[in-house]
Structure formats: structure tokens, C-alpha cells
Chains A and B, each alone.
Chain A
Amino acid sequence: MKKRSLALMLSAALCVGLLAGCGGTGDTAQSPAAGSNSPVAGQSQAPAGDNIQLTGTVNTNGSTSMESVMGYLIEAYKELQPGVTVNYTGSGSGAGITGAQEGTCDIGLASRDLKDEETGVKQITVAKDGIAIVVNPQNPVADLSLEQIAALATGEIGNWSEVGGSDGQVVFIGREAGSGTRDGFESITGTEDACKYQNELTSTGEVVANVASNPNAIGYVSLSAVDDTVKALTVGGVAPSEEAVLDGSYAIQRNFNFIVSDSAALSAAADAFIQWATSTDASALIADAGAVPVAK
């Protein structure tokens, strides 16, 4: 009896140890997979005239915020042109632009527009990224300026009454470090590394759920994730919508750009990939990835 219970305890201990060890890695392994879901939509809309089979490798390098969009595009392009391999390296917009300037990659990826001093390259906008600012439906605040949003994020404004709401401490909810949405929000509002988060969540859905359950919460999510449980604020009087993002009137948005060299000619494969990605054929894929397609 004694021995048996001993064995039981030991094996239970081992199991717990093993499970505990696996827990950490198992949870995280699922997240990247979500980004590389093989998209089905869009394939059937392959252009009829594009039946020339190309071969070659297209190296893209740059913005980590564009990882999701690129993942969808690359996956679908593989079906369309099996001979072409498109590689993606996430290194940051700056590195993507430098890569295109120096010719170390075929297409640079930048989640911001080119600055005046970045010469020798041009940008081709493939998609726009709109970020909605959401609050609890009970919150009377309906409109904020970009400056007010930045001040709320950094904790400069700590109470809702300061921006016309009812008395209550502001609870700022955001995404984890490394998230493209967080990077987008912080860079557009100019609050990089200065945000005072109350809650850092790992998915858009969790942000929505938390904002929906806390009357004093404010958070940011991709435009496509807004639903009835939360209220999307108008920013400077403009309501977030695909149209407002496309015509540039909604402030919290940025361009996802392909950066290509002015001088060096693109390979046939790279050129075809850009043509396809910026055509309406790729629109559904870009929308699936949570961005707003620009092709008309």
C-alpha cells in the first residue's frame, strides 16, 4: 500500500513536471500558426491572362507589421506561380528600405512612407492599416483628437472627466510588445515606449473582450476587429471605416509599402508579384490579413 501510493505520487509528480514544462512552449507555438493560415479566398480569382509560369526567387525584407499581409500573399502566390519562391524576412521598415537601396533584397517592405532623405527608391502602396480606438459602450466619450489619444495612452490624462467623460480612472489596454498593431498605434500617435498599459493582451479578441467588460477601458484594435460589444471612437470627427482609411481622412492609419529601387530593374518574378499583390486579385487576401486593400 505504502509503496503503491509512493509510485503514484512519483508518477504524478513527473507528469506535472512534464506538463508544466510543455505548457509554456505549447501555448506560444499556436500563435504564429494563426498568422500563416493558408488562405483559400482569392485563389479562385486568379487572373485568366496570367498563365505564363515564371520561375525564380523574390526576396522581401522589412516591416514586421506586414508579416501577416505578406504571409497571406506569399501563401496564395505559391499556388498561382509554383515556380516562384517569395521569401519574407522581418527586420523592420528601416532595414527594408536600406535593403532596397543597397540591392540586398528585391522588394523592401515598409509600414511607413519614405522620408525625403531616403532616395534612390520608390514606394508602391499595397495596403493601408487602419487602427480603431475602442471604448466601452457605456462611455459617453465619442470623439477624441489624436493628441488626446496619445495623452490617454501615456497616462498624461488619467481621468475620463478630463476629456468630457464621466469621472473614472482611464484603463489603457493594448497588445504585447512585438505586435504589429501596437507598433502601428505607438508610431502613429508618437508614443513609442511611453505608453502606460494597464493590461497587455496577446490577441485582438482579448482586447475587445476586456474593453467590453470594463466601463473605463480604452484600447486599440485592427479596424476589421471592431464589433458591437465595443464603441469605436471618431478621431478628429472622422469615424473609422475602410472608406475613411482609403481617402486618408481617418488619422490613425499608415501605408504598407513595397519599396523598390529606382535604378536597378526588377526580376520578372518580382515584377509579377508586385503587379499581382497590388491588383484586385489580392484584395480579399489583404482584407483577410486585417488590412485595407488599396487596389480598385
Chain B
Amino acid sequence: MDVLDLARWQFGITTVYHFLMVPLTIGLSLLVAGMQTAWVRTGDRKYLAMTKFWGKLLLINFAMGVVTGIVQEFQFGMTWSAYSRFVGDVFGAPLAMEGLVAFFVESTFLGLWIFGWDRLPKKVHLACVWAFSLATIASAYFILAANSWMQHPVGVELVDGRPRLTSIWAVLGNNTVLAAFPHTIFGAFSVAATFLVGIAAWHLWRRSDDGPVWRASVKFGTWVGVVAFTGLAITGDVQGKLMFEQQPMKMAAAEALCHTESPAAFSVFAIGDVSRPDCENVKSVTVPALLSFLAHNDFTTEVKGIEDLVPMYQEKYGANYPVDPRLGELSGKPIDYVPNLPVTYWGFRLMIGFGAIAVGAGLLILWLTRGGRVPRGRWFAWLALGSIATPFLANSFGWIFTEMGRQPFVVVPNPSGVDGVWMFTARAVSSSTPGEVLTSLIALTLVYGVLACVEVFLIRRYVRAGVAGVLPGPQPDDDKSDDRGESDKKSDEDVLSFAY
């Protein structure tokens, strides 16, 4: 493999991995903030138990999100140095803003929240968790603004062959990020909601202690889920229409649509190999005219197929890569404008499919637990715990589709933007040796793999232990227990209410 492939694998692995932690952190932190608010307002111990239990799982997960996020901040410079030079004037700003405005708040107030139990006044402590969770959302906005600029570059002019920022408001107000941001946040809430419902339903099935805690969690998760999945469908539809305008090739690749259709049918699933040139012969179950509707809100719009788009792209952006030793094997070769169709086609379907399964499983759990009943069969435990994985998978496949669908570009040309502001992925990579990237790829993948096992082990342990694991009952002989220290701050024996 050459540096380009290695660098892409590394970016893919580290980013998909990072994004397993991110949506859970974003979604769960706001839900925990909501739970703590309920506790502060009502004084009901049930809400305290919820805050502690879900908060602990949030923390276990957040630690992993933070450390894998560090790699992301460095990776552009390390493996994509040519990209960093090309886009630095635009792309670095939202990343730096994320650090300065959002991530500082996140990590500082999280520390205050973890260690501030019984030490800070209740309301100040509550404000800390809100500051933390709102900062995670702000963080997502800046990162998505950066990513959206790669999908749809705006607010720039071309100077000396490099994009130069002319309006930061255009970048932050890019219609692509305005659609991607709510979609991603709803995605995060879908993860957190399913997490709540799945784990709480499992506890109900086990007849664990603290039944009210689990029932309240199922209810809370359900409401969040309803909003999140509805929001996902609506924002996803908006994104589809933007994609039709901004990235016609990605639209065609999502459908593995070989030929232009008018009206265009939406393929539900296909039998056979969707990759070119065989995509012409694939048997596909379709819904007539639906794709036209997804693209342009009516049932007649023409949707361009791959075979018609390729010549258009060749004419606009060149048929061959330039002759440049830095391009390695690709130097002077024809440019393949078609993304990896099996990945885009199936990625798109798996995103929607797993999202739909998550909704179905959620509704089923809800119906099965109606009126306080809980099925006794083992299958119900499997259903509850299994459903947790589905929105994670939907999120991952959504991103894999989005990022693979823009290949061979790393910065996709904006059809109505400034000419020349685009970049091929092949030109973006550093001049590192393959050995270097292979070393980091192997090292990071191994470490991430080990850490994944550790995280799952810990989450399992804390989930099993339930409320008792995080909130011990009163102990008359000793109140120095973790998480529940005495609150007499004047005392000389002032014990930390929480300590590592």
C-alpha cells in the first residue's frame, strides 16, 4: 500500500472510532444535565440516582472521546500536510475556535462537575454540567462547519492557487453545516435515547432494584428518541436536497445510479454487485419517483446518473491527474470520479436501515413495557441490549457514506462557488514514508482496540451494578464513601466528595 491508502485507512479508523464516543457524549451529557435539573428542582432521589448512574457511564465514555480527539487535532498536519497548507487559511480557524471557545469550557467544567459534588453550591454545580454539555454542542458546530466547508467550500477567493478566507460568516453559516449540524445532533440524541431505553429496559427485565429509576429512564429516553428520530428524518431530507445541488456525483453514488432517470426511482435494496460497470445489470427493488422527490421535492425531477456525470466532471476538473512525482502511481493517470459504489450504496442504506431498526426496536420495547409490564423471556434482554448498537451503526455508516461519497475529492468543488477551490485526496497527503504511516496506523489501531475492550468492560460492569454501584445507601459508621462525602466544609477532616 502507498502512503495515500495508509493515510486514508488511518483517518477512517481513527475518525469512525472517535465518532463512536462523540455522539454518546453529546447526547448523554444533555440528558444528564436534564436529569440533574430535575433533581435540583424536585429533590426526588430518583433523579439523583439517574444523574449519578448515567453520569458515570457518560464519564467512562467521555474519557475515550477526549483522548481519541487529541489525535484528530494533530492528524491533519501529520498525514495530510499538503491539505493543511492548501486549506489552512480557512479550515484552521473553526478548529482553533473549537478549542478556544468550546473544548476549554468542556474539559474545565467537566472537571468541576466530577469533583464538585457536595463542594460547590447545588445550583453552581448544576450550571457546570450545563456549561459542559452545551460546550459539547458548540464543539460539534465548529467541527461540522469545518467538515461542511470540505463538502461545500464557501466564503473564499482563490489567491495564488490557494483558497483565502473572505467571510468567516459564510463558513459558519454555510447551508451545508446548517443541515449537517441538526442532523448530527439528532443523531447524537438518537444514540443517547436508545442507550437509555436499552439499558433501562434490561434492568426492568432483570427486576433490578430501583425500578422507578429505570422506568423514568425508559420514559425519558422514549421522548428524546421520538424527537431525535423525527428530526433525523427531516434534516436528512434537507441534506439530500443540498447534496443533489452541491454534490451530484455523491447523490448518484448513494443510489449507484448508472443512468440519468426522470423521474428517478429510489432503490430500496439491490441484488448483485453495484460497482461499475456491473451496476447496469443489478436487480434492484425500487420505489418509483421517490428519488426525484428526495432530490427536489417533486416527482418528476431528473437525477443525473454516473455515466452522464463522469464526462461533465472530466470536462470541468480534468481527465487526468497532473504529472507530479508526489502523486506516485496516480501521476498522469486518468481520474476516477466515481466513488466506491458498494460502500456508498450500502453505506447509505445501512444508515437508514439501522436507524429504522432502532426506531422499530424502540417502539417494540415501548409496547412490550406498556402499563408497567415487562416480558420475562431472555429474548427481551437481547432485544433491549441489541437495540443499543443500532444508532451507533447508523451514525458510522452515515459518516462513511458522506466521506467516501466525496472521493476522489478531499475538498469537493462547489458548483456555484469560486473556480479552482477544490482538491483531490491524492494531492492532500503528506510526503511521509509508507513505513511511518504504517507504524502509526498499526500502533493506533492496536491501542484503540485494547481501549475499546477496556471501555466495554467498564461500561458493562457499571451497567450491571445499577444504581448501587454509583450511589451507596447511607452507611452509619462511615460517610467517607465515594461520591457521597460529608458536606461540612469547615471541618478539618473535610473529605473529598469524589476522588479518583
Say if A and B assemble together: no
The residues of A with any CB-CB pair to B shorter than 8 Å are none
The residues of B with any CB-CB pair to A shorter than 8 Å are none
